[in-house]
Amino acid sequence: MVSDGVRAVPGPGHGYLPPGEGWVKLNQNESPYALTPDEWEALWEQLRSVPLHRYPDPNHAAVEEAIAGLTGLSPSMVLAGNGANEILELVVRSTCEPGDEVLTVAPTYPTYGRFCAMNRVRLVEVPWGPDFAFPLRELLAAVSPRTRLVLLCRPNNPTGHLYPGREVLALADAVPCLVAVDEAYGDFAGDTMADCVRSVPNMAVVRTLSKAYGAAGLRFGYLLASAETVRAARALQTPYGLSGFTQAAALFLLSRPDAMRRRRDAILAGREDLVRRLGRVPGLTVFPSSTNFVLVRTAGSADALDRHLRARGIAVRNLKWEDRHLRISVGTPEDHVRLTEALEAFDAAHAWPAYGRDG
Ligand SMILES: Cc1ncc(COP(=O)(O)O)c(C=O)c1O
């Protein structure tokens, strides 16, 4: 009853943990900071005026105009959706036919593979160069007659690194397809390619309120692209798919950029604290980060350290990458204290005998 293509689609991710169980939750790159009571109060006021007995605006005009105002783009170049995830899937679906190819640089956000599988599209992964250099030449060599989209994560998840925008522009200049830049973590890098979509018609930028804005539970993201790309993605959206509450709450958050900056700055300070603490743990190599998480290389089994942390109520992302990499989100100062205590209790010499001998 189910088609073979659908059977091959992997299920949703497994990062969710029920709240209220005391987890130190550092596995999904969420903001550790909730809205303040005053912000909640003001937000309730806005939500109270949403006419729940009427359909919401299917064109999301108010919130898209607000985004246009913030980015300096025309509203025809903005599309709002249910998180960057919905937008990314629409970008894949609106550019590719079954059997087409999407190019990306690996390792990256694994959900790109899921969106490709959902659309019977082949994901072609080009590895990062040495020290995670952008593999411009290799990407160009991987372009085939079936390549319809290049999907780039900038800064990249899970490596956390930012690579030069000029290399992305050079790629966009050379390929005959759309280049979509996923800027889910762009607010932390203080760097965006949003301006480029004005002058480069085959570029698109995807952004979200899930990270620096601290609203992963809201499910709001948006696309910035040429009017033609936006129109095609909009045509594939479920009618009335973006609820009136979501539109109102997104408008509320976007109209308070200072609150976002305060939370982002607290997370950036937290990242320094996290990097300092991790840097003191024997056997861990911490990579530089332009995001709200850090990539850590372990001298022995990452599985063993992940199990140790989970047993102490600490969730990090086990990347299953050579069994040597974990990704740890920036948490609150209290989260970092609990993480540090758990790391200090990890007996590396016992769990990682080879490392214990050498190191
Ligand atoms: C690179 C990247 N893109 C997109 C998303 C999904 O964002 P959203 O919550 O807006 O769907 C994530 C979430 O972790 C991400 O890491």
Closest ligand 1 atom to Cα of 216:
9
The residue among 206, 241, 244 whose CA lies nearest residue 223 is 206
Angstrom distances, CA of residue 334 to CA of 24, 338, 354: 9, 6, 32
> Does residue 109 line the site of ligand 1, with CB under 6 A?
yes
Which ranges in the chain are annotated with CATH 3.40.640.10? 48-255
Alpha carbon distance 68, 171 (integer Å): 26
Using most ligand atoms within 8 A of CB, pick from 157, 181, 188, 330 the residue to mutate for ligand 1.
157
> Does residue 157 line the site of ligand 1, with CB under 6 A?
yes
Show Cβ contacts of residue 47 under 8 Å, excluding neighbours closer than 6 positions: 245, 248, 249
Q: What type of residue is 244?
A: G
> Does residue 85 line the site of ligand 1, with CB under 6 A?
yes
> Does residue 180 line the site of ligand 1, with CB under 6 A?
no
- Whether residue 141 contacts residue 187, with contact meaning beta carbons closer than 8 Å, is answered with no
pLDDT of 357: 59
pLDDT of 68: 98
- Mean pLDDT in order along the chain per 10 residues (359 residues): 82 80 95 96 97 97 98 98 98 98 98 96 98 98 98 98 98 98 97 97 98 97 98 98 98 96 97 97 96 97 97 97 97 98 89 71
pTM, 2 dp: 0.97
CA 190 and chain centroid, separation: 15
Alpha carbon distance 38, 27 (integer Å): 28
Which ranges in the chain are annotated with CATH 3.90.1150.10? 15-31+258-358
Alpha carbon distance 220, 213 (integer Å): 10
Alpha carbon distance 276, 270 (integer Å): 10
Closest ligand 1 atom to Cα of 108:
1
pLDDT of 246: 98
Question: Residue 216 is encoded by which pair of tokens?
Answer: 């992963």
> Does residue 304 line the site of ligand 1, with CB under 6 A?
no
Alpha carbon distance 192, 259 (integer Å): 19
Closest ligand 1 atom to Cα of 84:
10
Alpha carbon distance 172, 92 (integer Å): 17
The residue among 176, 177, 204, 201 whose CA lies nearest residue 192 is 204
Closest ligand 1 atom to Cα of 85:
11
Residue with tokens 């603490």: 277
Question: Residue 112 is encoded by which pair of tokens?
Answer: 């790109």
- Whether residue 291 contacts residue 347, with contact meaning beta carbons closer than 8 Å, is answered with no
Span 48-255 CATH architecture: 3-Layer(aba) Sandwich (3.40)
DSSP 8-state class, residue 36:
P
Going by alpha carbons, the residue nearest to atom 3 of ligand 1 is 184
pLDDT of 358: 53
Going by alpha carbons, the residue nearest to atom 15 of ligand 1 is 184
> Does residue 104 line the site of ligand 1, with CB under 6 A?
no
Buried b (16+ CB within 10 A) or exposed e, 141-173: ebbeeebbbbbbbbbbbbbbbbbebebbbebbe
Distance in Å, CA 1 to ligand 1 centroid: 31
Question: Residue 343 is encoded by which pair of tokens?
Answer: 């790391």
Alpha carbon distance 19, 172 (integer Å): 42
Neighbours of 198 (CB within 10 A): 15
Classify 15-31+258-358 by CATH class.
alpha beta
Instruction: Specify the pairing of strand 203-208 against strand 221-224.
Output: antiparallel
Show Cβ contacts of residue 130 under 8 Å, excluding neighbours closer than 6 positions: none
Closest ligand 1 atom to Cα of 87:
11
> Does residue 84 line the site of ligand 1, with CB under 6 A?
yes
pLDDT of 5: 78
Question: Residue 63 is encoded by which pair of tokens?
Answer: 């919130």
Helix (H, G, I), strand (E, B) or coil at 95: helix
pLDDT digits (tens, 9 = 90+) for 219-247: 999 999 999 999 999 999 999 999 999 99
Using most ligand atoms within 8 A of CB, pick from 67, 208, 211 the residue to mutate for ligand 1.
208
